[in-house]
Structure 1
Amino acid sequence: METNQTIAQIQDFKGKYPKQLWYLFFSEMWERFSFYGMRGMLYYFMVHELFMKDTDANLQYGATQAWVYAFTFIGGLFADKIFGFRKSLFWGGLLMIVGSIILTIDPKQFFFLGVSFNIVGTGFFKPNISSMVGKLYRDDDNRRDAGFSLFYAGVNLGALIGGYICIAVGKSELWANIVPENLRWNAAFGFASVVMILSLLTFTQTQKSLGEIGLSPLLNVTPNKKRILEWSTYIGSILIVPIIIVMVSNTQYTDYFMYAIGPISILYLLYEMKGFSVAENKKLIAALIFMLFSIVFWAFFEQSGGSLSAFAADNLNNTVLGIKLDPNGVNNSANSLFVIVFAALVGIVWLWMAKKKIEPNTVVKFGLGFLFLAGGFWVFYYTKFFAGSDGKTSLDLFTFGWFIITFGELCLSPIGMSAMTKLSPQKTQAVIMGMWFLASAYGQYFAGLLGANIAEASENSSNLEKLNVYADGYEQLAIYALIAGVVLILISPLVKKLMQDVK
């Protein structure tokens, strides 16, 4: 393995993908197993083990996920200014391991403590590995979108395995003859800790191949000052865990935080923009437009962890193409399976269209993402017409809805990460990637509010009545997604001008 390559040499790779992308792919894959495994358990565990009401569990889920993604902004900021991508990723991984082990020991008693460690750890880990992927490519390299699509397949391979295994083990739908009944949730959370260790080992054993990518930004400061800044960050990130516990367990505090963090991040970006050229600032405005639309996308998409989790538990049959499967496991992992199957193909299609000079620009791709999202939620709505008197409907049709939404996600999420790295000046790249995930935090937050409204409307209803309430709610989301997609496509010429030379 070459360890002395410059960034220019790394970026001058031959073929479709740089070798370093594969190392980051596997590190991210195991981390996403851990993350999506726990994400898929949160709502169900809160309702069935912590005995929260559906409405409260939706709000709690939205708050938890909002904090996860909000901390990616903070993690990106500290990576840019103090740690660098690599050290930030390593520290975040350690915190996630600690959080997962805490949940493995006693998930009921230490639920919020373990979740809070994972929130802070994810904030340091997630934005920086994505930023390192962007550094593997020159700014004008049209292979970048294909690279991010492949990287996104790694995200979803981990999400597929973790998303199904963890919840199925916790519900005793999988390996019930191996895992004792009283330890099923301990084992489910335990899987998340083991694979997080694998993620960190993968990164530490391959990071030398990254050359100068992700090293500390404090190379020009004295060793003593560097040590003070780094240890202050270590200690501060531990001390903030009790605060996160309070904020996450009391969702009204999350409301106050979400009212503040978005405007603060934009003010910080405006401050940074004073030092950039007009051309650079136009690109940043385009990035903000993408972020605003992504909030809407994720507010709908992330019903998967909230209202769709309740829908899967209560209103879906348990067979797909005649194969018996856990409906919650399918809800957590079907999208990931389809991404794995089609992500590389979509990336190749973008490359082929680029060669033919017919590739749609990034804005139009975003708009198409919303149209697919609308189609998927319309299918979720349409499941009501296949329901029996017991309020249970077709898991096959539900899975087909996720099939359609997957193409929307592939038009938006990996392309969005790629766009953030292309539109942001180098010195704020991790912050911009953090703001991209902060937009996801708002999406998660609004997803919880939407799910809570649907749950409240169906409270004290029969299972069939509940199905109709949820389905009608998904019809409304389909209409709003359609409108957003059309608007985005209509304004694409304006946004394209702001993007200038960025494709």
Structure 2
Amino acid sequence: MSTNSTDQFFKDKVLGHPSGLFVLFFTEMWERFSYYGMRAILVIFLTGVITGDNPGWGWSTSAALSLLGTYALFVYLTPLVGGWLADNKIGYRMAVVIGALLMTLGHASMAIETPTFLYIGIALLIVGNGFFKPNMTSIISKMYEGHDEKKDGAYNIFYMGVNAGAFIGIMLCGWVGEKVGWSYGFGLAGIFMFLGMLQFYFAQPLFGNIGDKPTIESKSAEREKVIADGVKLNHFKIIDIVLLAVFLISALIFIINDPLSKIGDIQTLNFTVAGIGDSLFFALLAAISFIIVLIVRIPRYTRIERDRMIAFAIFCLFTVFFWAAFEQAAGSLPLYTRDFTNRILEGGSATVFKIVDLVVTVVPLLIITYVLLSLFKKTFKKIGLSNIILGCSFVIVWAIVIFKLYTEFQSNETEVPVTWFAILNSLFIIMFAPLFTKWWDSRFNPPASVKYFLGLFLLGLGFAFLAFGARDVEPGAKGASLSMAWLVFAYLFHTLGELCLSPMGLSYLSKLIPARMIALMFGVYYLAVAIGNKLAHYVGGDIESITQERGLSGFFLIFTVIPIGLGIISLLLHPLLKKLMHGVK
């Protein structure tokens, strides 16, 4: 009987899966720790007052969110380049190490707290993310070849690492940044990224030859596996290349001008064309040229392929607007939390919050620590140094957590950190993801159009709570003392919407798109997410001017009406989408 070449990874199992999966789990956890930890404090640091014990830089909201939007956009685009380099040149494992090292240097640069080092740090984080992000999942995919029945469980475990990292990173970097000092918050993100890199590097023996630098022979074999015999490929024509060039140049003019004009008052690329200023003309030109590319190329495929690609393109359009609203959590929502929410608790209320904070902090950490000890039992003899580094990481985490809890319990009055609310997203995902998984696996699993409707509707409903809570805030008000409950409801419904819609993109990509076109449409999907992120902070950057004219409630109503309206459109498109998908569930 022949055995699969990946069977060796299943000999030493942790919780029913290869021990290497949990090395990737913790590596990804530290990367998400650093990413979300840094992102949680970036905007409130940049826009914070320039006086006091822990001063910010006093940037305008539009400048801070312009930088965040450009960063978030490139975070979703650079993995396309990093994935190609790993596939063809350096291998997955080396790409992960390079990416982690660059991101470590990026966080260290930001900790210096000067504009020059801030921009250097952001650039290093963008490039490092491009190397790191796509190649973790590639290693898992290779490790589970021939064990497809285990893949769903593996990715569920891996994405629990994603959410665990986001949870701990926002909690610790946020608290340290706000309560101790911004530099320490940025530096803490870098420390754990560095420890994560070392832990992964010294765990190499667990992965065999998975992720090695590709050889000519391996690349040839891989090509033979993905090229379909007898299929006529849709090669790029001159018109395709010209349109893509117009798209790329126009998009770059807008993307580069946005932060340059708002942060540095550099107006070189700030063109006004046809009465449209702020380089918005080029953003529209980029969008139109890309849509034309799809219109020109898609009809050249066979009927079924064409129809399924049209369906996927429609889902990508909904994806843009979903993330444009959802990512307010990184931009306008922290500013709302800081300036318009009553976060001062006294007496019994303060005690209740401290107990809740204790439970939501310690219980997840205990679960993750149990996973850590299970990994140690199976792998310490083989990768002892990696385990020691990982153990030291957790000693530091527990030390900071104990110090945080001790400090908070010493005070009679509690000011809830701005960043504390951001952990609710990860907490709700951990709580509700198993329920949604059971729902999708049951006979009540809804069709794609209904999932997109639910995702957009629940997202809009979350903003409706914020709009209702802010109904009495006068237009132009600089602050208020609104209940924290509105934020909790908003994050709850945003998370439920995310669980309905976010996992669907890549799932339907794999179902609707033929293997030979996965790379192209993978790029289209991540381009949609990237545009959504940039659009989120472009619109969010105008929160002050919008609230001046329409009030805070009016600002949040924008993100209530548009997602709910698009959700209803998705529902109405169900017969068409069902026809276009040709039987794909």
Same fold (TM over 0.5): yes
C-alpha distance in 2 between matches for 1:401 and 1:444: 19
Tell me which residue corresponds to 1:113. 120
SS in 2 for 1:303: helix
- Does the CA contact (< 8 Å) of 1:33 and 1:160 recur in 2? yes
- Does the CA contact (< 8 Å) of 2:175 and 2:417 recur in 1? no
How does 1:207-246 map onto structure 2 within 5 Å? 214=211, 216=213, 218-220=215-217
505, 517, 524: which one aligns with 1:416: 505
Tell me which residue corresponds to 1:438. 527
C-alpha distance in 1 between matches for 2:295 and 2:86: 19
Give the gaps of 5 or more residues in structure 1: 177-183, 223-243, 462-467
Tell me which residue corresponds to 2:335. 310
* TM superposition score normalised by structure 2: 0.67
What code does the residue aligned with 1:336 have?
S
Mark the CA change 1:310 to 1:386 in structure 2 (over 3 Å): closer, same or farther: same
429, 446, 450: which one aligns with 1:360: 446
The alpha-carbon deviation at position 32 of structure 1 amounts to: 0.8
Tell me which residue corresponds to 1:188. 185
179, 194, 197: which one aligns with 1:197: 194
The alpha-carbon deviation at position 143 of structure 1 amounts to: 7.2
Tell me the alpha carbon deviations over residues 105-127 of structure 1, each in whole angstroms, 9 at most, x when there is no partner.
34544111101110111122223
- Does the CA contact (< 8 Å) of 2:4 and 2:146 recur in 1? no
Tell me which residue corresponds to 1:123. 130
415, 432, 437: which one aligns with 1:342: 432
Mark the CA change 1:69 to 1:455 in structure 2 (over 3 Å): closer, same or farther: farther
Matched, 1:382 2:468: yes
Tell me which residue corresponds to 1:370. 456
Tell me which residue corresponds to 1:51. 58
Tell me which residue corresponds to 1:490. 572
- Count of residues in correspondence between the two structures: 458
C-alpha distance in 2 between matches for 1:81 and 1:273: 27
- Does the CA contact (< 8 Å) of 1:454 and 1:469 recur in 2? no
- Does the CA contact (< 8 Å) of 1:150 and 1:343 recur in 2? no
Tell me the alpha carbon deviations over residues 10-33 of structure 1, each in whole angstroms, 9 at most, x when there is no partner.
89x999974454443322211111
Tell me which residue corresponds to 2:178. 171
Q: Name the % identity.
A: 33
- Does the CA contact (< 8 Å) of 2:334 and 2:419 recur in 1? no
Matched, 1:160 2:182: no
C-alpha distance in 2 between matches for 1:118 and 1:481: 31
Tell me the alpha carbon deviations over residues 376-431 of structure 1, each in whole angstroms, 9 at most, x when there is no partner.
11111122258799611011221121011111111122332333344444455455
Q: RCO (CA 8 Å, sep 6+): is it higher in 1 or 2?
A: 1
What code does the residue aligned with 1:369 have?
G
Q: Who wins on radius of gyration, i.e. which is larger?
A: 2
85, 99, 108: which one aligns with 1:101: 108
Matched, 1:296 2:378: no
C-alpha distance in 1 between matches for 2:494 and 2:129: 25
- Does the CA contact (< 8 Å) of 2:61 and 2:542 recur in 1? no
Tell me which residue corresponds to 2:559. 477
Mark the CA change 1:497 to 1:483 in structure 2 (over 3 Å): closer, same or farther: same
Tell me which residue corresponds to 2:33. 33
C-alpha distance in 1 between matches for 2:66 and 2:119: 14
Mark the CA change 1:144 to 1:221 in structure 2 (over 3 Å): closer, same or farther: closer
C-alpha distance in 1 between matches for 2:103 and 2:282: 22
C-alpha distance in 1 between matches for 2:58 and 2:45: 8
Tell me which residue corresponds to 1:6. 5
Bigger drift between 300-309 and 413-422 goes to: 413-422
C-alpha distance in 2 between matches for 1:112 and 1:337: 31
The alpha-carbon deviation at position 94 of structure 1 amounts to: 2.1
C-alpha distance in 2 between matches for 1:16 and 1:363: 36
Mark the CA change 1:141 to 1:95 in structure 2 (over 3 Å): closer, same or farther: same
C-alpha distance in 2 between matches for 1:290 and 1:381: 27
What code does the residue aligned with 2:452 have?
F
C-alpha distance in 2 between matches for 1:135 and 1:420: 19
* TM superposition score normalised by structure 1: 0.77
Tell me the alpha carbon deviations over residues 45-82 of structure 1, each in whole angstroms, 9 at most, x when there is no partner.
22123321122222232222222223233333444444
SS in 1 for 2:482: coil
Bigger drift between 258-267 and 429-438 goes to: 258-267
The alpha-carbon deviation at position 198 of structure 1 amounts to: 3.1
C-alpha distance in 2 between matches for 1:14 and 1:427: 34
